[in-house]
Amino acid sequence: MSEEETAPVIREVEILKQDTVIDVKLPVDYYFRFNQFMTEFFPAKDDQHLEEIIKLVQEGKDDTDVYAYHFRTLLSFLLLVEDQAREQGHTKKIKLNITTGEKVNTD
């Protein structure tokens, strides 16, 4: 090997196995952070762009737009967490004012 050629650097790394399911215990605060990211920080250009992204996801065309693709990835994760929480009895029903986002006190 000449001075100009360098030997490849080989290291052992750990990767996830394909086609497997990972059981994870997820603190609800972490779920809320993902949810907050989706509603407050996701890089949609404006409200109309977000509506277009949602429409592409609903129509199954999320593979045609990079924003829709990543939005669906995050949305799928949140829905998976919600389904598991519901299945495990970790959800409850509340009354919510959809206009203001405020919880309606029914006590």
Per-residue pLDDT tens digits for 61-76: 999 999 999 999 999 9
Per-residue pLDDT tens digits for 41-65: 899 999 899 999 999 999 999 999 9
pLDDT of residue 78: 93
The domain tally of the chain equals: 1
pLDDT of residue 30: 93
**Residues near 104 by Cβ (< 8 Å), separated by ≥ 6?**
94, 95, 96, 97
CB 56 within 8 A of CB 65: yes
18 domain-assigned: no
Q: Given a cut of 70, is residue 2 above it in pLDDT?
A: no
What is the Cα–Cα distance from 71 to 43, expressed in whole angstroms? 9
48 domain-assigned: yes
15 domain-assigned: no
Which one is predicted more confidently, 2 or 31?
31
- The residue behind tokens 């050629």 is 5
* Residues in a beta bridge with 104: 95
What is the extent of the structural domain holding 73? 28-104
pTM of the full structure = 0.73
